[in-house]
Amino acid sequence: MIALLLRDLRLAVRAGGGFGLSLAFFLIVTVLVPFGVGPEGGTLARIAPGILWVGALLACLLSLDRIYALDFEDGSLDLLATAPIPMEAVVSVKALAHWLTTGLPLVLAAPVFGVLLHLPGPAYFWLVISLAVGTPALSVLGAFGAALTVGLKRGGLLLSLLVLPLYVPTLIFGAELIARGSAGGATATPLLMLAGITAATVALVPFAAAAAIRVNLR
């Protein structure tokens, strides 16, 4: 499993695409928003948590179809299915690799992009916390969506239609956590809900994703 993780990480970093691309996409989204809504600091500061979360969602979505697509095409996925580790583990490891290459860089880069949007001071801490807690759920749910569409020729658009509604609860609690944190409100509820969603998806969704992959490999 560790070998598989290292292999996926190495492919993501060296084979071009994936790794830096979603970060660059996140940057572009953040830069485009002020052009759309105007450069007033107050407006930007108010919508910044939402923009950063939506940007993270989209950046995450962009790289989802790469989770299995290449492995499906060259047959590695069949080999993994017959390997002595369960499919659920393969899915989890691939989701972890996806998170390490897209989620984690987003978490680390988000404060810098927050500066661009005039994010108020106390919000930075909660921005990093909420993204760090929430993005693993995005990767795992994305791995499920990618598993559903892995056999399709042009699954990209369908993938976003399937996955984005699943992201709604994460987005709500994530953005709410930043909003409350920066306003100095009670943060325990959204933080715990966000952590609960992440924990539950990480624990349960790999089973659904593995079932979908088995169907697609049949």
Partner 1 sequence: MSIWEYANPKKFMQTSAWALPWFTGLAAITLVTGLVWGFFFTPEAANFGTTVKIIYIHVPSAMMAINIWVMMLVTSLIWLIRRHHVSALAAKAAAPVGLVMTLIALFTGAIWGQPMWGTWWEWDPRLTSFLILGLFYLGYIALWQAIDNPDTAADLTGVLCLVGSVFALLSRYAVNFWNQGLHQGASLSVDKQENVSDVYWYPLLFCIAGFILLFIVLVLVRTRTEVRSRRLKALEARERLA
What is the binding site for partner 1 (CB under 8 A)? 144, 148-149, 151-152, 155, 158, 161-162, 164-166, 168-169, 172-173, 176, 189-190, 193, 197, 205, 208, 211-212, 215-216, 218
Provide the CB-side half-sphere exposure for 155 (13 A, CA): 21
For the bound state, the minimum distance from the C-beta of residue 166 to partner 1, rounded and expressed in Å, comes to 5
Nearer to partner 1, 13 or 168 (CB): 168
For the bound state, the minimum distance from the C-beta of residue 199 to partner 1, rounded and expressed in Å, comes to 13
Q: Locate 8 and state its tokens.
A: 């996926």
Nearer to partner 1, 9 or 211 (CB): 211
10 Å Cβ neighbour count for 146?
Answer: 28
For the bound state, the minimum distance from the C-beta of residue 194 to partner 1, rounded and expressed in Å, comes to 10
**Nearest Cα residue to 141 out of 106, 99, 89, 90:** 99
Q: Which amino acid is at 121?
A: G
| Interhelix angle 168-183/188-217, nearest 10 degrees | 160
For the bound state, the minimum distance from the C-beta of residue 208 to partner 1, rounded and expressed in Å, comes to 5
| CA torsion angle 207 167 93 56 (round to 10) | 180
| 3-class DSSP assignment, residue 68 | coil
For the bound state, the minimum distance from the C-beta of residue 204 to partner 1, rounded and expressed in Å, comes to 8
Nearer to partner 1, 101 or 139 (CB): 139
Q: Which amino acid is at 89?
A: A
Nearer to partner 1, 89 or 162 (CB): 162
Nearer to partner 1, 114 or 174 (CB): 174
